[in-house]
Amino acid sequence: MAATSAGRVLTLCRQFQNACRISTTLSAQQSTVTLTKGRSYPHRLPSTLLSSSWSCNLDLAVQCRPLHTTISRRGLEEFFDIPENWGEATVKSGAPWTAKQLRTKSNEDLHKLWYVLLKEKNMLLTIEQESKRQGQQMPSPERLKKIDRSIRRLDTVVKERENALRLLQTGQERARPGDWRKDVFGRIYWYRFREHALPWYMNRRYKRKRFYTPAFVAPHLRLRLEKYLRAKTRKQKKESENQAVLKEKFPQMQAKSQ
Amino acid sequence: MAVTIIYSTSQKYPLYQMGNPQLRIFRPPFFLTLVRPGKEQPPDVVQFRIPMVMTKFDVRNYVEKIYNVPVGAVRTRIQYGTNKKRNHLNQKVKRPDYKVAYVQLAQQQTFEFPDIFPKKDVKSAEGSVEEMQEKFMEDEEQRQKPDPRRGGVTEWFGL
Protein backbone atom coordinates (compact mmCIF):
# COMPACT_ATOMS: atom_id res chain seq x y z
CA MET A 1 0.00 0.00 0.00
CA ALA A 2 2.77 2.37 0.87
CA ALA A 3 4.57 1.48 -2.36
CA THR A 4 1.57 2.22 -4.61
CA SER A 5 0.71 5.51 -2.88
CA ALA A 6 4.33 6.61 -3.22
CA GLY A 7 4.25 5.56 -6.89
CA ARG A 8 1.09 7.59 -7.51
CA VAL A 9 2.60 10.60 -5.77
CA LEU A 10 5.78 10.33 -7.84
CA THR A 11 3.84 10.10 -11.13
CA LEU A 12 1.80 13.12 -10.05
CA CYS A 13 5.06 14.89 -9.28
CA ARG A 14 6.44 14.05 -12.72
CA GLN A 15 3.29 15.44 -14.37
CA PHE A 16 3.42 18.64 -12.37
CA GLN A 17 7.17 18.98 -12.86
CA ASN A 18 6.94 21.29 -15.87
CA ALA A 19 4.20 23.36 -14.28
CA CYS A 20 5.68 23.99 -10.86
CA ARG A 21 9.18 22.97 -9.94
CA ILE A 22 9.66 22.54 -6.26
CA SER A 23 13.39 22.33 -5.99
CA THR A 24 14.47 22.01 -2.43
CA THR A 25 17.84 21.36 -0.92
CA LEU A 26 17.19 18.28 1.12
CA SER A 27 19.28 17.61 4.17
CA ALA A 28 21.17 14.33 4.31
CA GLN A 29 18.78 12.70 6.78
CA GLN A 30 15.66 13.78 4.94
CA SER A 31 17.02 12.38 1.70
CA THR A 32 17.69 8.98 3.32
CA VAL A 33 14.15 9.05 4.72
CA THR A 34 12.58 9.84 1.33
CA LEU A 35 14.80 7.21 -0.27
CA THR A 36 13.56 4.51 2.06
CA LYS A 37 9.97 5.75 1.79
CA GLY A 38 9.96 5.91 -1.99
CA ARG A 39 11.63 2.58 -2.59
CA SER A 40 9.39 -0.47 -2.95
CA TYR A 41 9.96 -3.66 -0.97
CA PRO A 42 11.72 -5.95 -3.52
CA HIS A 43 14.54 -3.46 -3.94
CA ARG A 44 15.22 -3.13 -0.24
CA LEU A 45 17.83 -5.82 0.40
CA PRO A 46 20.37 -5.12 -2.37
CA SER A 47 20.23 -1.42 -1.56
CA THR A 48 21.70 -1.66 1.91
CA LEU A 49 24.90 -3.43 0.85
CA LEU A 50 26.90 -2.52 -2.26
CA SER A 51 24.35 -0.39 -4.08
CA SER A 52 24.92 2.27 -6.67
CA SER A 53 21.28 3.19 -7.23
CA TRP A 54 21.22 5.96 -4.57
CA SER A 55 22.26 8.74 -6.91
CA CYS A 56 19.50 8.15 -9.50
CA ASN A 57 16.86 7.93 -6.75
CA LEU A 58 18.27 11.08 -5.18
CA ASP A 59 17.87 12.99 -8.47
CA LEU A 60 14.20 11.97 -8.56
CA ALA A 61 13.71 13.10 -4.98
CA VAL A 62 15.44 16.44 -5.59
CA GLN A 63 13.28 17.28 -8.58
CA CYS A 64 9.91 16.62 -6.96
CA ARG A 65 9.23 16.77 -3.24
CA PRO A 66 6.84 13.94 -2.37
CA LEU A 67 3.69 15.07 -0.57
CA HIS A 68 2.41 12.73 2.14
CA THR A 69 -0.99 13.19 3.65
CA THR A 70 -0.89 10.11 5.87
CA ILE A 71 1.77 9.58 8.53
CA SER A 72 4.26 7.07 7.10
CA ARG A 73 4.11 3.99 9.31
CA ARG A 74 7.25 2.70 7.61
CA GLY A 75 9.07 4.42 10.43
CA LEU A 76 8.84 1.63 12.98
CA GLU A 77 8.55 -1.07 10.30
CA GLU A 78 12.19 -0.34 9.48
CA PHE A 79 13.12 -2.07 12.70
CA PHE A 80 12.02 -5.34 11.10
CA ASP A 81 12.88 -7.16 7.92
CA ILE A 82 10.53 -7.17 4.91
CA PRO A 83 7.52 -9.46 5.60
CA GLU A 84 8.61 -11.95 2.89
CA ASN A 85 11.64 -12.83 5.00
CA TRP A 86 9.74 -13.48 8.22
CA GLY A 87 10.02 -17.17 9.14
CA GLU A 88 12.74 -17.96 6.60
CA ALA A 89 15.73 -20.05 7.67
CA THR A 90 18.29 -18.00 5.71
CA VAL A 91 18.21 -14.54 4.22
CA LYS A 92 20.54 -13.68 1.35
CA SER A 93 22.87 -10.77 1.90
CA GLY A 94 25.84 -9.33 0.03
CA ALA A 95 29.46 -8.89 1.04
CA PRO A 96 30.42 -6.18 3.54
CA TRP A 97 31.87 -2.87 2.38
CA THR A 98 35.67 -2.90 2.13
CA ALA A 99 37.82 0.08 3.09
CA LYS A 100 39.07 0.29 -0.49
CA GLN A 101 35.53 0.69 -1.82
CA LEU A 102 34.62 3.20 0.85
CA ARG A 103 37.61 5.39 0.05
CA THR A 104 36.20 6.00 -3.42
CA LYS A 105 32.97 7.48 -1.97
CA SER A 106 32.42 11.16 -1.22
CA ASN A 107 31.89 12.48 2.31
CA GLU A 108 28.18 12.99 1.69
CA ASP A 109 27.79 9.42 0.46
CA LEU A 110 29.65 8.09 3.49
CA HIS A 111 27.46 10.15 5.79
CA LYS A 112 24.30 8.71 4.23
CA LEU A 113 25.74 5.19 4.23
CA TRP A 114 26.41 5.50 7.94
CA TYR A 115 22.71 5.97 8.60
CA VAL A 116 21.77 3.11 6.28
CA LEU A 117 24.15 0.79 8.13
CA LEU A 118 22.87 2.10 11.45
CA LYS A 119 19.27 1.29 10.55
CA GLU A 120 20.26 -2.14 9.22
CA LYS A 121 22.13 -2.90 12.45
CA ASN A 122 19.14 -1.80 14.53
CA MET A 123 16.97 -4.15 12.49
CA LEU A 124 19.36 -7.07 12.99
CA LEU A 125 19.64 -6.43 16.72
CA THR A 126 15.84 -6.38 16.97
CA ILE A 127 15.58 -9.70 15.14
CA GLU A 128 18.32 -11.20 17.32
CA GLN A 129 16.63 -10.19 20.56
CA GLU A 130 13.24 -11.42 19.37
CA SER A 131 14.72 -14.77 18.28
CA LYS A 132 16.23 -15.18 21.76
CA ARG A 133 12.86 -14.34 23.28
CA GLN A 134 10.93 -16.81 21.13
CA GLY A 135 13.57 -19.54 21.36
CA GLN A 136 14.07 -19.58 17.59
CA GLN A 137 17.20 -19.38 15.48
CA MET A 138 17.98 -16.02 14.01
CA PRO A 139 18.02 -16.20 10.18
CA SER A 140 21.54 -15.55 8.84
CA PRO A 141 23.33 -14.21 11.94
CA GLU A 142 26.47 -13.54 9.85
CA ARG A 143 24.77 -10.32 8.69
CA LEU A 144 25.58 -8.75 12.06
CA LYS A 145 29.30 -9.40 11.61
CA LYS A 146 29.18 -7.99 8.09
CA ILE A 147 27.47 -4.83 9.26
CA ASP A 148 29.91 -4.44 12.15
CA ARG A 149 32.85 -4.71 9.81
CA SER A 150 31.32 -2.23 7.36
CA ILE A 151 30.71 0.28 10.14
CA ARG A 152 34.24 -0.12 11.49
CA ARG A 153 35.77 0.33 8.05
CA LEU A 154 33.63 3.42 7.40
CA ASP A 155 34.89 4.83 10.71
CA THR A 156 38.47 4.09 9.71
CA VAL A 157 38.09 5.85 6.36
CA VAL A 158 36.48 8.92 7.93
CA LYS A 159 39.20 9.06 10.60
CA GLU A 160 41.87 8.86 7.91
CA ARG A 161 40.32 11.77 6.04
CA GLU A 162 40.01 13.85 9.21
CA ASN A 163 43.62 13.08 10.14
CA ALA A 164 44.82 14.13 6.70
CA LEU A 165 42.82 17.37 6.84
CA ARG A 166 44.10 18.21 10.29
CA LEU A 167 47.72 17.53 9.31
CA LEU A 168 47.40 19.72 6.26
CA GLN A 169 45.61 22.58 7.98
CA THR A 170 47.29 22.70 11.38
CA GLY A 171 50.18 20.23 11.35
CA GLN A 172 48.87 18.51 14.50
CA GLU A 173 49.45 14.75 14.47
CA ARG A 174 46.81 13.87 17.06
CA ALA A 175 43.20 15.00 17.39
CA ARG A 176 43.28 14.87 21.19
CA PRO A 177 46.09 16.89 22.82
CA GLY A 178 48.46 15.14 25.24
CA ASP A 179 51.93 15.13 26.73
CA TRP A 180 54.73 12.78 27.84
CA ARG A 181 54.56 12.54 31.65
CA LYS A 182 56.17 10.49 34.42
CA ASP A 183 53.93 8.54 36.75
CA VAL A 184 54.55 7.66 40.42
CA PHE A 185 56.51 4.55 39.43
CA GLY A 186 59.01 6.45 37.28
CA ARG A 187 57.52 5.23 34.00
CA ILE A 188 57.14 7.74 31.16
CA TYR A 189 53.82 7.48 29.30
CA TRP A 190 51.62 9.52 26.94
CA TYR A 191 49.06 11.33 29.10
CA ARG A 192 45.98 12.39 27.10
CA PHE A 193 44.44 15.65 28.27
CA ARG A 194 40.89 15.82 29.55
CA GLU A 195 38.51 18.76 29.60
CA HIS A 196 38.01 20.31 33.02
CA ALA A 197 35.78 23.11 34.26
CA LEU A 198 38.49 24.42 36.65
CA PRO A 199 42.17 25.30 36.21
CA TRP A 200 44.52 22.54 37.40
CA TYR A 201 45.70 24.35 40.52
CA MET A 202 42.10 24.48 41.82
CA ASN A 203 41.33 20.84 40.92
CA ARG A 204 41.89 18.77 44.10
CA ARG A 205 41.47 15.35 42.48
CA TYR A 206 43.95 16.25 39.74
CA LYS A 207 46.54 17.44 42.28
CA ARG A 208 46.35 14.10 44.08
CA LYS A 209 47.43 12.34 40.89
CA ARG A 210 51.20 13.20 41.09
CA PHE A 211 52.97 13.39 37.74
CA TYR A 212 56.41 13.11 39.39
CA THR A 213 58.34 10.29 41.08
CA PRO A 214 58.83 10.78 44.85
CA ALA A 215 62.33 10.32 46.32
CA PHE A 216 61.55 7.09 48.22
CA VAL A 217 60.80 5.32 44.90
CA ALA A 218 64.51 5.56 43.88
CA PRO A 219 65.52 2.13 45.37
CA HIS A 220 62.61 0.45 43.54
CA LEU A 221 63.73 2.13 40.29
CA ARG A 222 67.23 0.83 40.80
CA LEU A 223 66.01 -2.71 41.44
CA ARG A 224 63.79 -2.56 38.36
CA LEU A 225 66.73 -1.39 36.25
CA GLU A 226 68.90 -4.22 37.59
CA LYS A 227 66.20 -6.76 36.78
CA TYR A 228 65.87 -5.40 33.24
CA LEU A 229 69.67 -5.46 32.68
CA ARG A 230 69.95 -8.97 34.10
CA ALA A 231 67.23 -10.24 31.78
CA LYS A 232 68.88 -8.50 28.81
CA THR A 233 72.35 -10.00 29.46
CA ARG A 234 70.80 -13.42 30.03
CA LYS A 235 69.04 -13.23 26.67
CA GLN A 236 72.23 -12.09 24.85
CA LYS A 237 74.31 -14.81 26.49
CA LYS A 238 71.79 -17.47 25.57
CA GLU A 239 71.74 -16.27 21.99
CA SER A 240 75.57 -16.27 21.68
CA GLU A 241 75.79 -19.77 23.27
CA ASN A 242 73.19 -21.01 20.80
CA GLN A 243 75.20 -19.54 17.92
CA ALA A 244 78.40 -21.22 19.20
CA VAL A 245 76.68 -24.62 19.37
CA LEU A 246 75.31 -24.22 15.85
CA LYS A 247 78.73 -23.11 14.56
CA GLU A 248 80.23 -26.29 15.99
CA LYS A 249 77.60 -28.44 14.27
CA PHE A 250 77.58 -26.58 10.97
CA PRO A 251 81.01 -24.91 10.40
CA GLN A 252 80.01 -23.44 7.01
CA MET A 253 77.11 -21.51 8.57
CA GLN A 254 77.19 -17.70 8.36
CA ALA A 255 76.86 -16.08 11.79
CA LYS A 256 73.68 -14.02 12.31
CA SER A 257 74.61 -10.32 12.23
CA GLN A 258 72.78 -8.51 15.04
CA MET B 1 36.22 22.58 17.72
CA ALA B 2 33.04 23.19 15.76
CA VAL B 3 32.33 19.55 14.95
CA THR B 4 31.87 16.99 17.70
CA ILE B 5 33.52 13.69 16.86
CA ILE B 6 32.17 10.92 19.04
CA TYR B 7 33.46 7.63 17.66
CA SER B 8 32.25 5.26 20.35
CA THR B 9 29.86 5.21 23.27
CA SER B 10 32.81 5.01 25.66
CA GLN B 11 34.13 8.40 24.59
CA LYS B 12 33.58 11.39 26.85
CA TYR B 13 31.48 14.28 25.61
CA PRO B 14 32.97 17.79 25.46
CA LEU B 15 32.25 19.86 28.57
CA TYR B 16 29.21 22.09 28.39
CA GLN B 17 29.20 25.52 29.95
CA MET B 18 26.52 28.17 29.67
CA GLY B 19 26.67 29.94 26.33
CA ASN B 20 28.28 27.01 24.49
CA PRO B 21 26.73 25.98 21.17
CA GLN B 22 24.35 23.02 21.06
CA LEU B 23 26.17 19.68 21.04
CA ARG B 24 25.79 17.95 17.69
CA ILE B 25 26.85 14.39 17.00
CA PHE B 26 27.47 13.44 13.40
CA ARG B 27 27.36 9.70 12.64
CA PRO B 28 25.94 8.63 16.02
CA PRO B 29 27.44 5.34 17.24
CA PHE B 30 24.24 4.40 19.13
CA PHE B 31 22.14 1.37 18.23
CA LEU B 32 18.58 0.82 19.41
CA THR B 33 16.91 -2.57 19.80
CA LEU B 34 13.12 -2.77 19.60
CA VAL B 35 11.96 -5.41 22.10
CA ARG B 36 8.68 -7.11 22.82
CA PRO B 37 7.42 -5.78 26.17
CA GLY B 38 7.58 -8.24 29.05
CA LYS B 39 4.68 -6.62 30.86
CA GLU B 40 1.54 -5.41 29.07
CA GLN B 41 2.06 -1.87 27.73
CA PRO B 42 -0.47 0.67 26.40
CA PRO B 43 -1.01 0.41 22.61
CA ASP B 44 0.96 3.56 21.79
CA VAL B 45 4.10 2.55 23.72
CA VAL B 46 7.18 1.12 21.99
CA GLN B 47 9.90 -0.48 24.12
CA PHE B 48 13.59 -0.09 23.22
CA ARG B 49 16.89 -1.24 24.66
CA ILE B 50 19.29 1.67 24.37
CA PRO B 51 22.96 2.23 25.27
CA MET B 52 23.53 3.44 28.81
CA VAL B 53 24.88 6.81 27.73
CA MET B 54 21.71 7.87 25.90
CA THR B 55 19.19 10.16 27.58
CA LYS B 56 15.48 10.78 26.98
CA PHE B 57 16.28 13.76 24.76
CA ASP B 58 18.75 11.69 22.75
CA VAL B 59 16.16 8.96 22.20
CA ARG B 60 13.52 11.47 21.15
CA ASN B 61 15.82 13.16 18.63
CA TYR B 62 17.12 9.82 17.35
CA VAL B 63 13.70 8.33 16.67
CA GLU B 64 12.24 11.55 15.27
CA LYS B 65 15.11 12.42 12.96
CA ILE B 66 16.30 9.02 11.76
CA TYR B 67 13.02 7.10 11.64
CA ASN B 68 10.65 10.05 11.14
CA VAL B 69 8.30 8.75 13.84
CA PRO B 70 6.49 11.39 15.95
CA VAL B 71 7.39 10.93 19.61
CA GLY B 72 5.21 12.12 22.45
CA ALA B 73 6.96 11.11 25.67
CA VAL B 74 10.03 9.05 26.55
CA ARG B 75 10.63 7.34 29.87
CA THR B 76 13.83 5.45 30.68
CA ARG B 77 15.03 3.09 33.35
CA ILE B 78 18.16 1.04 33.93
CA GLN B 79 17.75 -2.71 34.21
CA TYR B 80 20.28 -4.33 36.53
CA GLY B 81 21.77 -7.58 35.14
CA THR B 82 22.21 -10.29 37.75
CA ASN B 83 25.65 -11.18 39.14
CA LYS B 84 24.27 -14.19 41.00
CA LYS B 85 24.65 -16.95 38.40
CA ARG B 86 27.82 -19.02 38.58
CA ASN B 87 29.62 -20.87 35.80
CA HIS B 88 31.17 -24.37 35.82
CA LEU B 89 34.18 -22.97 37.74
CA ASN B 90 31.86 -21.57 40.43
CA GLN B 91 32.80 -18.02 39.41
CA LYS B 92 30.14 -15.37 39.48
CA VAL B 93 29.08 -14.36 35.96
CA LYS B 94 27.64 -10.91 35.47
CA ARG B 95 24.87 -10.35 32.97
CA PRO B 96 25.35 -6.84 31.51
CA ASP B 97 23.12 -3.97 32.64
CA TYR B 98 21.08 -2.21 30.02
CA LYS B 99 18.85 0.83 29.71
CA VAL B 100 15.22 0.48 28.63
CA ALA B 101 13.28 3.31 27.00
CA TYR B 102 9.49 3.43 26.76
CA VAL B 103 8.62 5.69 23.83
CA GLN B 104 5.03 6.92 23.64
CA LEU B 105 4.02 7.78 20.09
CA ALA B 106 2.32 11.09 19.31
CA GLN B 107 -0.67 11.79 17.03
CA GLN B 108 -2.65 8.83 18.44
CA GLN B 109 -0.53 6.27 16.59
CA THR B 110 -0.40 2.70 17.83
CA PHE B 111 2.20 -0.01 17.50
CA GLU B 112 1.87 -3.74 18.00
CA PHE B 113 4.95 -5.95 18.08
CA PRO B 114 4.58 -8.32 15.10
CA ASP B 115 5.18 -12.07 15.00
CA ILE B 116 8.48 -12.39 13.14
CA PHE B 117 8.65 -16.20 13.20
CA PRO B 118 5.43 -17.46 11.63
CA LYS B 119 5.18 -21.17 10.83
CA LYS B 120 5.85 -21.71 7.14
CA ASP B 121 5.22 -24.98 5.26
CA VAL B 122 8.60 -25.74 3.76
CA LYS B 123 8.50 -27.88 0.60
CA SER B 124 11.95 -29.34 -0.14
CA ALA B 125 13.34 -29.33 -3.69
CA GLU B 126 12.64 -32.28 -6.00
CA GLY B 127 15.22 -35.08 -5.91
CA SER B 128 17.16 -33.53 -3.02
CA VAL B 129 18.37 -35.35 0.09
CA GLU B 130 15.90 -33.50 2.33
CA GLU B 131 12.97 -34.60 0.18
CA MET B 132 14.03 -38.26 0.35
CA GLN B 133 14.51 -37.99 4.13
CA GLU B 134 11.07 -36.43 4.58
CA LYS B 135 9.47 -39.13 2.42
CA PHE B 136 11.21 -41.85 4.42
CA MET B 137 10.01 -40.32 7.73
CA GLU B 138 6.46 -40.13 6.41
CA ASP B 139 6.59 -43.83 5.37
CA GLU B 140 7.96 -44.80 8.79
CA GLU B 141 5.15 -42.95 10.55
CA GLN B 142 2.62 -44.69 8.32
CA ARG B 143 4.13 -48.08 9.18
CA GLN B 144 4.07 -47.40 12.93
CA LYS B 145 0.35 -46.51 12.93
CA PRO B 146 -1.98 -49.28 14.22
CA ASP B 147 -4.37 -51.14 11.90
CA PRO B 148 -7.31 -48.76 11.21
CA ARG B 149 -9.65 -51.75 10.80
CA ARG B 150 -9.38 -52.49 14.54
CA GLY B 151 -11.26 -49.25 15.29
CA GLY B 152 -8.87 -47.79 17.90
CA VAL B 153 -8.55 -51.01 20.00
CA THR B 154 -4.96 -51.75 21.04
CA GLU B 155 -3.03 -54.68 19.53
CA TRP B 156 -1.88 -55.78 23.01
CA PHE B 157 -4.66 -58.32 23.17
CA GLY B 158 -4.20 -61.28 20.80
CA LEU B 159 -5.94 -61.57 17.47
CATH architecture of structural domain B27-138: 2-Layer Sandwich (3.30)
Q: What is the structure's pLDDT at A255?
A: 65
Q: What is the structure's pLDDT at B34?
A: 97
Confidence of residue B121 (pLDDT cuts 50, 70, 90): confident
CB A119 within 8 A of CB B30: no
Lowest mean pLDDT among A39-43, A77-81, A109-113, A214-218: A39-43
Phi, psi values for residue A167, rounded to 5°: -60, -40
pLDDT of B46 above 90: yes
Query: Please, what is the average pLDDT of chain B?
Result: 89
Query: Please, what is the average pLDDT of chain A?
Result: 80
Tell me the pLDDT tens digit for each residue of B53-88. Answer: 999 999 999 999 999 999 999 999 999 999 999 999
What is the spatial distance between Cα B95 and Cα B83, in angstroms, rounded to a whole number? 6
Does the beta-carbon distance from B66 to A29 stay under 8 Å? yes
* pTM: predicted TM-score of the whole model, two decimal places: 0.71
Q: What is the structure's pLDDT at B119?
A: 87
Q: Is the minimum CB–CB distance between B98 and chain A shorter than 8 Å?
A: no
CB B105 within 8 A of CB B67: no
Q: What is the structure's pLDDT at A258?
A: 58
Q: What is the structure's pLDDT at A11?
A: 46
**H/E segment holding residue A179:** strand A178-182
How far is residue A83 from each of residues A31, A76, A78, B114, measured CA to CA in Å? 24, 13, 11, 10
Does the beta-carbon distance from B27 to A114 stay under 8 Å? yes
What is the spatial distance between Cα A187 and Cα A198, in angstroms, rounded to a whole number? 27
Torsion angle in degrees (nearest 10) through CA of A12, A17, A18, A24: 160
Q: Is the minimum CB–CB distance between B107 and chain A shorter than 8 Å?
A: yes
Confidence of residue A73 (pLDDT cuts 50, 70, 90): low
Summarize the confidence of residues B123-133 as an average pLDDT.
79
Domain boundaries, chain B: 27-138
pLDDT of A16 above 60: no
Confidence of residue B118 (pLDDT cuts 50, 70, 90): very high
CB A86 within 8 A of CB A79: no
pLDDT of B4 above 90: no
Chain A residues with CB inside 8 Å of B26's CB?
111
Confidence of residue B10 (pLDDT cuts 50, 70, 90): low
Q: Which of B117, B124, B130 to mutate to test the interface with A (most CBs of A within 10 A)?
A: B117
Write down the ipTM of this complex: 0.81
Q: Is the minimum CB–CB distance between B157 and chain A shorter than 8 Å?
A: no
Tell me the pLDDT tens digit for each residue of A105-125. Answer: 999 999 999 999 999 999 999
Q: Is the minimum CB–CB distance between A118 and chain B shorter than 8 Å?
A: yes
How far is residue B118 from each of residues A4, A142, A162, B101, B122, measured CA to CA in Å? 26, 21, 47, 27, 12
Q: What is the structure's pLDDT at B158?
A: 74
- Most distant pair of Cα atoms in chain A: their distance: 96
Confidence of residue B146 (pLDDT cuts 50, 70, 90): confident
Q: What is the structure's pLDDT at A40?
A: 39
Give the nearest partner residue to B114 out of A80, A115, A196, using CB atoms.
Answer: A80
pLDDT of A84 above 80: yes
B10 CA to chain A: closest CA distance, Å? 14
